[in-house]
Amino acid sequence: MESERRTRERSWVEGWERVGQRLRELKRRELRAIRTEDALRKLAGAFESCRRHFVPSPTSGLVEQQRWFQKLRP
């Protein structure tokens, strides 16, 4: 029973390793094939949505970061 489970688990892992290799190959192929102009056109809507809905912070966060560093100081 235990050996069957181990065999199934090993088979499952090996299957995902093969799938992972195929997915990496597919990703490389797609990245090589895409044109920058097309990618920018496809991302334009997401960029505009973020630009409209994101409220920028009034500060850079540097002062808050320095407060944290001060607390961590020995």
DSSP annotation of 17 reads H
Of 50, 30, 27, 48, the residue nearest 38 (C-alpha): 30
DSSP-derived 3-state class of residue 55: coil
Q: Report domain extents, the chain.
A: 2-72
Summarize pLDDT for 38-72 with one digit per residue, the tens: 999 999 999 999 999 998 888 899 999 999 999 99
Average pLDDT, the chain: 94
Length, in residues, of the chain: 74
Lookup result for tokens 């808050």: 64
Q: What pLDDT does 57 receive?
A: 86
Q: What pLDDT does 8 receive?
A: 95
Share of the chain above pLDDT 90, in %: 85
